[in-house]
Amino acid sequence: MGRYWRTLRRFWSTAVAVQLEYQANVLIELLAVAMSLGGSLFLLSLFYGPDQTLGGWSWAQALMVQGLYTVFDGMASTWLRPNLGAIVTHVREGTLDFVLLKPIDSQFWLSLRTLSPGGLPEIALGFALLIYGSVQAGVVLTLPSLFTVLVMLLAGGLILYSLWFLIAATSIWFVKTWNATEVLRALLASGRYPLNAYPPALRLLFTLVLPVAFLTTVPAQVLLGEAAAPMLLAGLALAVLFFSVARAFWLFALRFYTSASS
Amino acid sequence: MRIFGLNRRIIRVLLGSQYAHMLEYRAEIALWALSGVLPFIMLSVWSGSEARLGLGLDGVALDRYFLSAFLVRQFSVVWVVYAFEEDALLGRLSPYLLQPLHPLWRYVAAHLGEQLTRLPFAALIAAVFFVAQPQAFWLPSLGGFLLAWLATWLAFAIAFLFQSLIAALCFWSEKASALERLQFIPFVFLSGLLAPLTAFPPGVRALAQWTPFPYLIDFPARLLAGQPVDLIAGFAAQLAWVALLLPLVLLLWRAGVRRYSAMGA
Amino acid sequence: MALIDVRGLSKTYKVADKQPGFAGTLRHFLQRRYRDVAAVQDVSFQIAPGEMVGFLGANGAGKTTTLKMLCGLIYPSDGDVQVAGHRPQRRQAEFLRRITLVMGQKQQLMWDLPPLDSLRVNAAVYGIPDDVARRRTSELADLLELGEELTRPVRKLSLGQRMKAELLAALLHEPEVLFLDEPTLGLDVNAQSRVRQFLAEYNRRTGATVLLTSHYMADITALCQRVLLIHQGRLFHDGPLEVLADQLAPEREVHLELERPAQSDAFEGLGRLERIEGCEVRLLVPRDQLTIVVAQLLERFPVRDLDVKDPPIEELIGGLFRQGRV
């Protein structure tokens, strides 16, 4: 385990070093994040006239959901996109062979190889929005609810990672996967709004098939003290299930790679 | 007759080869088509919201608006910057520049080939939508359809010229393609892809009218959905943007090519 | 005791056939037809610790497939491979620590950072303590004549410097078995010979086993006493390079320049007459009869000049592949 920790520290210190080689990008990134968040808030405000709600959620509560969505979006740009997007390059250029010959788990290497600090401001902004929304919505934070929300955020992160990794792993077969990733991103955008804003059929889809609900709506409900225990357990179970499927699929993909590649 | 090195034979060959090329990537293009589902997600949020009353789109009109927005977007997606960057990176650009044909025509043909490949997938998604929402089904009048088609083409032309402008800037700076990302953000929010322009507060709406964005989705989508629109103002604005962008693109492109060859890259 | 033990190794791929054009695409879609392609067939050999073995073959002959099966990147369809007491395809950590793979046209170093950063990552991955890693880095850097290049971003290094840094990164964990796939590809003559010298020196110092493929015959002749020649997936030759030359070209070429023209029938019984043109004569003579024939030639003819040539091995092998002989 010690070796994995040391490797992780090295991974990330080199990742920061790479970013420092490209400082100008950070500014563009910041501008994009600010514009994007401004646009999202403007769009959300269109749903709220005086005394209006969206699926029974008040403006402040919807801000919490929007904040959580921003956090996960930032996580995707900091962690998922730079790492999982590189898998396709490894396959195309044949450098996956080097990864497979390292005495370290290949999924660990491919998933945590780098970090892109450019997404960190977005995560910070997301949390700021979440806190602002929570205060406006009169959330009373207790130790158990804080603990629960952290666990649910972890579960949500695991679900998002697993979905993304599943798609990235198909690059063993397909030359390009970023358009599949775009489909995932388009569908994930549904997490910008509370689950109740959708018709019942979509709610089911966003809970069980593409569990966006567990990324944003459920953690917000935990903070608001409205989360039901079965929903929390379902979230944890889905996180474990999705991660196991992603892991199994990767091992299957590797078996295919090593028996069919030339 | 040749316009920028174009004649009928070249058009036929270019379109034919680009279509065949795009057919090879049909699975990928199907996924691109699918990644445009955002208007449907927004439709489901808008339909259930209390704010929908303010939109002026009653009953099935809202469904039709967002389906039209989806279709208009499908046939006005532009990716010149990315194709151009890849060509420059892989060294394919220099031979293109030597040919007696403006390189932008090649990209135009590639886009048209891609749209043709996309057509069945977009139609399939629309069919699925009608199965789910049979009451929203409609057939636009022939005149309305032709006008919407023309407006979509003009939207494509504006988007294409706009991105070509950014691509031309890539001759000067590698960072120029980041501009595409930055301009995409106001496009998404102001074009009508996520909310009809009638949802905007009057001030924002007036401001948006001065940008090219509403003419890329909102105007053609309303035409297709059979909503009342100011035809003359809409087409005039579209043509004005084309007239503004076209000479800029040609000038900047020529200067860029001169710079590129001067650097001997 | 063999360090690498390969018995009856085979690899068969299923390849889908597709005709060009739209009709071909459609047919391919509706009724896919597969064809078995044997990349490697029934290959067996043993390599002892410390040996340097050259792996020869045309493109697509099956060298890279065999090499990848030895590292565990490709599962064999049939047969048995043992490398350092492990079955490579299981890719166990203990096995991976004992081998390394260097590919001439692919790189593992991070493009935007100095090689030292990649070395630090490798040290962590292989669990090498920092002080040991530092010592090994400076030893290897001395051998490779690398200095401040290690602190410059990889993208700013020349191809030769980059290859040397790649070698350093691949050898940091002191592997016992080196698999090198075209390690000198694209390098200039100087850099090629530098890499060659390094590999010979490394082998001498550490006793590591080296299996090397190369397009450049000079790599093989300079480094390997033993050569494996693979052709159309089969092992065609296993032994010293000279034996291969004998086998491929059992005759040597004798070039004569005479004082005055001679008749072709005068050369009967003196090897195969290849060409006669006035005073210039070319004969192909079996190796074992060479001395007798040369003595007789000098005796019978007024010889102004005599020259015996060995056809270059590169041409022999090249000719072999072109003719599809074997």
- Please write the tens of the pLDDT for every residue from B184-201: 999 999 999 999 999 999
Rounded to 5 degrees, φ, ψ at A221 are -65, -40
Q: Distance (Å) from the C-alpha of residue C21 to the closest C-alpha of chain A?
A: 21
Angle between helices C159-171 and C115-125 (to 10 degrees): 20
Residues C233 and C85 in one domain: yes
More confident residue, C316 or A89: A89
Q: Rounded to whole angstroms, how far apart are CA atoms C257 and A229?
A: 102
With 0-12 / 13-18 / 19 or more C-beta atoms within 10 angstroms meaning exposed / middle / buried, residue C197 is: middle
Q: Measure CB to CB from residue A103 to each of C96, C101, C121 and give the nearest one.
A: C96
Q: Measure CB to CB from residue C13 to each of A22, A109, A260 and give the nearest one.
A: A260
- Tokens linked to C38: 């044997």
**In contact, C82 and C3? CB cutoff 8 Å:** no
Angle between helices B80-89 and B177-190 (to 10 degrees): 170
Residues from B in contact with C at Cβ < 8 Å: 20, 23-24
Q: Rounded to whole angstroms, how far apart are CA atoms B76 and B59?
A: 27
Those of residues 41-70 in A touching chain C at CB distance below 8 A are none
Q: Distance (Å) from the C-alpha of residue B211 to the closest C-alpha of chain A?
A: 15
pLDDT in tens, C31-66: 667 778 888 999 999 999 999 999 988 777 888 899
B28, A179: Cβ pair inside 8 Å? yes
Neighbours of C243 (CB within 10 A): 13
Residues C178 and C298 in one domain: no
Task: Using only the alpha carbons of chain B, give its radius of gyration.
Answer: 19
Is the residue at C296 inside a domain?
yes
Q: Distance (Å) from the C-alpha of residue C156 to the closest C-alpha of chain B?
A: 17
Q: Which of C246, C267, C295 is the last residue of a domain?
A: C246
C-alpha of B262 from chain center? 33
Residues C242 and C259 in one domain: no
- Tokens linked to B124: 């399939």
With 0-12 / 13-18 / 19 or more C-beta atoms within 10 angstroms meaning exposed / middle / buried, residue B264 is: exposed
Question: In chain B, which ranges are continuous DSSP H helix?
Answer: 8-24, 26-34, 38-48, 60-74, 80-89, 93-98, 103-132, 142-169, 177-190, 202-209, 218-225, 231-262
C-alpha of C5 from chain center? 18
**In contact, A196 and A203? CB cutoff 8 Å:** yes
* Closest residue, chain A, to B30 (C-alpha): A179
A42, B175: Cβ pair inside 8 Å? no
Indicate if the pLDDT at residue A78 is higher than 70.
yes
C-alpha of B105 from chain center? 16
Q: In the 8-state DSSP scheme, what is residue A209? A: I
Confirm whether the ipTM is greater than 0.85: yes
Q: In the 8-state DSSP scheme, what is residue B6? A: B
Report the percent of chain C where pLDDT is more than 90.
48
* Closest residue, chain C, to A92 (C-alpha): C106
Contacts of B104 (CB under 8 A, 6+ apart): B80, B164, B249, B253
Indicate if the pLDDT at residue A19 is higher than 80.
no
Residues C190 and C297 in one domain: no
**In contact, A214 and A154? CB cutoff 8 Å:** no
Q: What is the domain range of residue C123? A: 49-246
* Mutation site, B22, B42, B45, interface A, largest A CB count within 10 A: B45
Secondary structure of chain C in HEC code, one letter for each residue: CCCEEEEEEEEEEEEEECCCHHHHHHHHHHCCEEEEEEEEEEEEEEECCCCEEEEECCCCCCHHHHHHHHHCCCCCCEEEEEECCECHHHCCHHHHHHEEEEECCCCCCCCCCCHHHHHHHHHHHCCCCHHHHHHHHHHHHHHHCCCHHHHCCHHHCCHHHHHHHHHHHHHCCCCCEEEEECCCCCCCHHHHHHHHHHHHHHHHHHCCEEEEECCCHHHHHHHCCEEEEEECCEEEEEEEHHHHHHHHCCEEEEEEEECCCCCHHHHCCCCEEEEEECCEEEEEEEHHHHHHHHHHHHHHCCEEEEEEECCCHHHHHHHHHHHCCC
Is the residue at C233 inside a domain?
yes
Report the percent of chain C where pLDDT is more than 70.
89
Mean of pLDDT values over B87-105: 82
Q: Give the three-class secondary structure for B33.
A: helix
What band does C285 get if pLDDT is binned at 50, 70 and 90? Answer: confident
Buried b (16+ CB within 10 A) or exposed e, B219-242: bbbbbbbbbebeeeebbebbeebb
With 0-12 / 13-18 / 19 or more C-beta atoms within 10 angstroms meaning exposed / middle / buried, residue C288 is: exposed
Residues C59 and C175 in one domain: yes
Q: In the 8-state DSSP scheme, what is residue B49? A: S
* Residue the block writes with tokens 């998604």: B125
Residues C178 and C288 in one domain: no
* Closest residue, chain C, to B26 (C-alpha): C25
Question: Beta strand pairing status for C234-240 and C251-258?
Answer: unpaired
The reply to whether C233 touches chain A by the CB within 8 Å rule is no
CA A39, A40, A43, A44 torsion: positive or negative? negative
For residue C293, the domain's CATH number is 3.30.70
**In contact, C69 and C7? CB cutoff 8 Å:** no
For residue C158, the domain's CATH number is 3.40.50.300
With 0-12 / 13-18 / 19 or more C-beta atoms within 10 angstroms meaning exposed / middle / buried, residue B40 is: buried
Q: Rounded to whole angstroms, how far apart are CA atoms B60 and B133?
A: 9
Q: Rounded to whole angstroms, how far apart are CA atoms B143 and B239?
A: 19
- The number of CA neighbours under 13 Å toward the Cβ of C192 is 17
Q: Rounded to whole angstroms, how far apart are CA atoms B66 and B75?
A: 14
C19, C25, C31, C34: CA torsion to nearest 10: 50
Residues C165 and C61 in one domain: yes
Supply the pLDDT for residue A261.
54
Amino acid letter, C129? P
Neighbours of C6 (CB within 10 A): 23
Residues C241 and C289 in one domain: no
Residues C226 and C132 in one domain: yes
Question: C199 to each of B25, B45, C219, how far by Cα in Å?
Answer: 45, 66, 10
Instruction: Compute the count of residue pairs across chains A and B with CB atoms less than 8 Å apart.
Output: 84
Residues of B in contact with A176 (CB under 8 A): 28
C100, A101: Cβ pair inside 8 Å? yes
Contacts of B262 (CB under 8 A, 6+ apart): none
The reply to whether A6 touches chain C by the CB within 8 Å rule is yes
**In contact, B38 and A189? CB cutoff 8 Å:** yes
Domain locations in chain B? 37-91+126-262
Q: Give the three-class secondary structure for B3.
A: strand
pLDDT in tens, C88-134: 999 999 999 999 999 988 889 988 889 999 999 999 999 999 999 99
Supply the pLDDT for residue B3.
64
Contacts of A44 (CB under 8 A, 6+ apart): A62, A63, A66, A192, A193
Is the residue at C127 inside a domain?
yes
- Tokens linked to B151: 């407006």
Rounded to 5 degrees, φ, ψ at A38 are -60, -45
Q: Rounded to whole angstroms, how far apart are CA atoms A238 and C173?
A: 41
B204, A52: Cβ pair inside 8 Å? no
Neighbours of C176 (CB within 10 A): 17
What band does A262 get if pLDDT is binned at 50, 70 and 90? Answer: very low
Q: Rounded to whole angstroms, how far apart are CA atoms A214 and C323?
A: 66
What band does C266 get if pLDDT is binned at 50, 70 and 90? Answer: confident
Q: Rounded to whole angstroms, how far apart are CA atoms C205 and A181?
A: 50
Supply the pLDDT for residue C32.
66
Q: In the 8-state DSSP scheme, what is residue A78? A: I
Q: Rounded to whole angstroms, how far apart are CA atoms A213 and B41?
A: 14
Residues C76 and C142 in one domain: yes
Question: B111 to each of B29, B153, B229, C100, how far by Cα in Å?
Answer: 12, 12, 28, 46
A18, C103: Cβ pair inside 8 Å? no
Indicate if the pLDDT at residue C326 is higher than 50.
no
Those of residues 199-218 in A touching chain C at CB distance below 8 A are none
Residues C135 and C96 in one domain: yes
Average pLDDT of chain C, as a whole number? 87
Q: What angle do CA C135, C138, C139 make, to 5 degrees?
A: 85
What band does B265 get if pLDDT is binned at 50, 70 and 90? Answer: very low
Rounded to 5 degrees, φ, ψ at C193 are -70, -30
B49, A187: Cβ pair inside 8 Å? no
* Residue the block writes with tokens 């047919």: C27
Q: Give the three-class secondary structure for A175.
A: coil
Q: What angle do CA A68, A71, A75 make, to 5 degrees?
A: 140
Supply the pLDDT for residue C81.
95
